[in-house]
Amino acid sequence: MAFEKILVLDDELIIRKSLQEILRRKRYSVAVAATIKAAEKYLDKDPFDLVFMDLRLPDGDGTTLLNKISKKPDAPLIVMMTGYATIESAVDCMRAGAFEYLIKPFSSNQIEIIIHKAENYTHLVNVNRFYSQSDSLETGLVGKGKATRQLRNLIQKVAPTQATVLIHGESGTGKEVIAGEIHKASARSGAPFIKVNCAAISETLIESEFFGHEKGAFTGAVDRRRGRFELAHGGTILLDEVSEISPNLQAKLLRVLQEREFERVGGNQTIKVDTRVLATTNRDLAKCVQKGEFREDLYYRLNVFPLYSTPLREKKEDILTLADHFNDSLQRKHGVKIEGFSPAAKSCLLAHNWPGNIRELQNTVERAVILTESGNYIQHSSLGLLHLDGFEPHVEESASEPYLSHTWGDLFQGEDGDKPDPESLIPIDELEKRYILHALEATGGNRSLAARHLKVTSRTLRNKLKQYQESQIL
Ligand SMILES: Nc1ncnc2c1ncn2[C@@H]1O[C@H](COP(=O)(O)OP(=O)(O)OP(=O)(O)O)[C@@H](O)[C@H]1O
Ligand SMILES: [Mg+2]
């Protein structure tokens, strides 16, 4: 990771000049300052990657500034320099967060070595940050319904333990989000959260991805490489889609789970790791065991604490919360300001069956956010789920209010109490459909409650919705 900007802070002109020359030759952009005050001005204005800082300065002590900046997030790395080196001051500086302690005079070689080390270090920090900031970690588990509340409870219970957790559920239901929540709520949250997608990595490469390899272990292994179990040392590893690993790797994984040790590919040194294991599957692993596709002993090692990721159609009460959440984050992404969902749009969201689960909901909202002009509500027509031309009730209502508060006037788009204009009359089955959707919206998608309000059986309601779906209305 090559640095861009470096700051040199020293009151001696000769040091400023010589460092500046060495660094410019290496094509870094360099700023120089002779006082703490001038340096602070630079640091406030621009992000620097590295600072060379003298210990004694005319307007104060370098360590004071070191203490101040090294605590900030995204602080530059700081190399302290002095012509009066003592062990005590070196220890003080390192303790305060200095990256290096450099004794003057120095050679240009020393500077090059320091920069090389600092660039490698920054790279590692960034890689680690990348790994521990997956989408799902940023998002967190959204939803207030019963299933989500129960899940949150279980996560809080299991997270602080070392137990291996197997998260199972359909595709797009949030299994990775759950894994991220477990990591975040555990004592390992400050350490890496490393994911391996077992389905996406080829059979030949996956062993090296898991355990790393030694130089020359196979064609293309030009360097020694640490595997993801090693990267996750002290933290958590997520074996995503674990059902997909080969029998050979299943045996090796079993050993890691039992002994917490392994060898790199092509190596004979045994490596011990302290890594918490989480796994996800969208296949029924117990069935895979029955069919002889997955080792039974490994299944029991993984399934210490099973968690079920509920599909969206079984947690309808979370649909609108999730849709609002996606609307918020996606409008930020697309730089628009959207007021929310129109009542008809909410009805559509609630009535849809969501075979693609939360990922489908997220995509649906993203499409709608792109189609909606800033300052407007998302209309049902932008969702691409339901086509009820001309249906746009003008009354914003909370889902908890009884749907019967909708007047017939709402459904005709006329003012309350107005006689509808004959032009606006609509076929009776259209009217029925609108009323059913209102009922669904008002009951938060609860079909049996909606059926009760509508005075029809759940079965009739189900059949109606099915009929709409089949005729491409939903
Ligand atoms: N409860 C939730 N709150 C917020 N976002 C969620 C929630 N559940 C899922 N998501 C979002 O939905 C998308 C799919 O979630 P995720 O990748 O965790 O699903 P998955 O079960 O791992 O799917 P797959 O089996 O396809 O890998 C992600 O973008 C995720 O951020
Ligand atoms: Mg996943």
Higher-pLDDT residue of 393 and 317 is: 317
CA-closest residue to ligand 1 atom 6: 174
95-104, 378-387, 456-465: the lowest-pLDDT one? 378-387
Q: Rounded distance, CA 409 to CA 415, Å?
A: 6
The whole-number pLDDT of residue 387 equals 42
Q: Is 282 in the pocket of ligand 1 (CB under 6 A)?
A: yes
Same domain, 268 and 320: no
Same domain, 119 and 147: no
Higher-pLDDT residue of 306 and 130 is: 306
The whole-number pLDDT of residue 274 equals 93
Predicted confidence (pLDDT) at residue 1 exceeds the cutoff of 70: no
Query: Which of the listed ranges 136-140, 336-340, 440-444 does the model predict with the highest average pLDDT?
Result: 336-340
Q: Is 278 in the pocket of ligand 1 (CB under 6 A)?
A: no
**Where does a domain end: 114, 129, 144?**
129
Predicted confidence (pLDDT) at residue 386 exceeds the cutoff of 60: no
pTM of the predicted protein model: 0.63
Q: What percent of the chain has pLDDT over 70?
A: 86
Same domain, 57 and 197: no
Give 423's pLDDT tier (boundaries 50, 70, 90).
low
- Ligand 1 pocket: which of 134, 138, 139, 242 to mutate (most atoms within 8 A of CB): 139
Give 412's pLDDT tier (boundaries 50, 70, 90).
very low
Same domain, 278 and 331: no
Predicted confidence (pLDDT) at residue 32 exceeds the cutoff of 60: yes
Predicted confidence (pLDDT) at residue 34 exceeds the cutoff of 70: yes
The whole-number pLDDT of residue 14 equals 95
Over residues 340-373, the pLDDT tens digits come to 999 889 989 998 999 999 999 999 999 999 999 9
* Dist. CA 26 → ligand 1 center (Å): 45
- Ligand 1 pocket: which of 167, 168, 173 to mutate (most atoms within 8 A of CB): 173
Give 413's pLDDT tier (boundaries 50, 70, 90).
very low
Over residues 56-81, the pLDDT tens digits come to 999 999 999 999 998 776 789 999 99
Predicted confidence (pLDDT) at residue 281 exceeds the cutoff of 70: yes
Q: What is the mean pLDDT of the chain?
A: 86
22-31, 161-170, 371-380, 389-398: the lowest-pLDDT one? 389-398
* CATH number for the domain that contains residue 240: 3.40.50.300
The whole-number pLDDT of residue 236 equals 95
Same domain, 175 and 257: yes
Q: What percent of the chain has pLDDT over 90?
A: 62
CA-closest residue to ligand 1 atom 24: 171
Q: Is 381 in the pocket of ligand 1 (CB under 6 A)?
A: no
Q: How many domains does the chain have?
A: 3
Q: Is 177 in the pocket of ligand 1 (CB under 6 A)?
A: yes
Q: Is 372 in the pocket of ligand 1 (CB under 6 A)?
A: no
* Dist. CA 363 → ligand 1 center (Å): 12
Q: Rounded distance, CA 380 to CA 391, Å?
A: 9
Which long-range contacts link 85-92 to residues 24+ away (Cβ below 8 Å)? Answer: 89/55, 89/63, 92/63
Same domain, 404 and 338: yes
Predicted confidence (pLDDT) at residue 401 exceeds the cutoff of 90: no
Predicted confidence (pLDDT) at residue 41 exceeds the cutoff of 70: yes
Predicted confidence (pLDDT) at residue 294 exceeds the cutoff of 90: yes
Q: Are 309 and 167 in contact (CB under 8 A)?
A: yes
Same domain, 158 and 271: yes
Predicted confidence (pLDDT) at residue 450 exceeds the cutoff of 60: yes
Which atom belonging to ligand 1 lies closest to the Cα atom of 318? 1
Same domain, 140 and 274: yes
Same domain, 293 and 320: no
**Where does a domain end: 310, 328, 363?**
310
Phi-psi region of 179 (alpha: psi -120 to 50; beta: other; left: phi over 0): alpha
Q: Is 139 in the pocket of ligand 1 (CB under 6 A)?
A: yes
CA-closest residue to ligand 1 atom 13: 359
* CATH number for the domain that contains residue 19: 3.40.50.2300
pLDDT (mean) for 116-140: 70
* CATH number for the domain that contains residue 335: 1.10.8.60
* Dist. CA 439 → ligand 1 center (Å): 29
The whole-number pLDDT of residue 392 equals 41
The whole-number pLDDT of residue 473 equals 47
The whole-number pLDDT of residue 421 equals 59
Give 172's pLDDT tier (boundaries 50, 70, 90).
very high
Range of the domain at 22: 5-129
Q: Is 359 in the pocket of ligand 1 (CB under 6 A)?
A: yes
Give 452's pLDDT tier (boundaries 50, 70, 90).
confident
pLDDT (mean) for 206-229: 85
Predicted confidence (pLDDT) at residue 395 exceeds the cutoff of 70: no
Give 384's pLDDT tier (boundaries 50, 70, 90).
confident
| Beta-bridge partners for 261 | 272
CB atoms within 10 A of CB 429: 10
Q: Is the link from the previous residue into 76 a cis peptide, with omega within 30 of 0? A: no
The whole-number pLDDT of residue 405 equals 35
* Dist. CA 175 → ligand 2 center (Å): 6
Q: Is 358 in the pocket of ligand 1 (CB under 6 A)?
A: yes
The whole-number pLDDT of residue 73 equals 66
* Dist. CA 153 → ligand 1 center (Å): 18
- Helices 175-184 and 146-158: angle between axes, nearest 10 degrees: 40
Same domain, 346 and 268: no
Same domain, 94 and 220: no
pLDDT (mean) for 44-67: 93
Give 403's pLDDT tier (boundaries 50, 70, 90).
very low
Q: Is 318 in the pocket of ligand 1 (CB under 6 A)?
A: no
The whole-number pLDDT of residue 389 equals 40
Query: Whose CA is closest to 211, among 166, 272, 301, 259?
Result: 272
Over residues 232-273, the pLDDT tens digits come to 888 999 999 999 999 999 999 999 999 999 999 999 889 899
Same domain, 112 and 139: no
Ligand nearest to the CA of 176: 1
Structure tokens at 405: 């508060």
Q: According to the 3-state scheme, what is the secondary structure of 40-56? A: HHHHHHCCCCEEEEECE
pLDDT (mean) for 451-458: 86
Ligand nearest to the CA of 155: 1
The whole-number pLDDT of residue 400 equals 35
pLDDT (mean) for 449-473: 81
**Where does a domain end: 129, 164, 181?**
129
Which atom belonging to ligand 1 lies closest to the Cα atom of 361? 12
* Dist. CA 193 → ligand 1 center (Å): 16
Q: Rounded distance, CA 158 to CA 181, Å?
A: 11
